[in-house]
Amino acid sequence: MKIKEGFVIKSIAGSTVAVPVGENLVNLQLMLTLNESGAFLWQCLQKNCTEDELVEAMTCEYAIDAETARADVKDFINILKENKILDEA
């Protein structure tokens, strides 16, 4: 899984926001506000990685167990899929 081309992370008014650029700019509904863990996962997804790799990264970065990390990763992946931001190829 990987973030599709055409999105960048910006810090706007103290918030981290995923912003569409280029051809995606016409649809500002694709803009997402990310919390700290969402921004971390977004950075991980800049390179191709699996769900298991994301879970491992979360447990290493934050003091959480694998079950909690997996639930958070699944929720985040679902949001990206719903907004057609994730490239699963």
Can you give the pLDDT at residue 26? Answer: 52
- The pTM (predicted TM-score) of the whole model is 0.84
For 61-74, the pLDDT digits (tens) are: 999 999 999 999 99
Query: What's the number of domains the chain is made of?
Result: 1
Q: Tell me which residue range forms the domain holding 17.
A: 2-87
pLDDT digits (tens, 9 = 90+) for 2-45: 998 888 888 888 889 888 887 655 555 667 889 999 999 999 99
Q: Strand runs (DSSP E) across 4-55, as ranges?
A: 7-12, 15-20, 32-34
pLDDT of residue 14: 86
Cβ(30)–Cβ(20) under 8 Å? Answer: yes
- pLDDT in the model for residue 76: 95
Query: What span, in angstroms and rounded, lies between the C-alpha atoms of 30 and 24?
Result: 8
Instruction: Check which CATH number belongs to the domain holding 22 and give it.
Output: 1.10.10
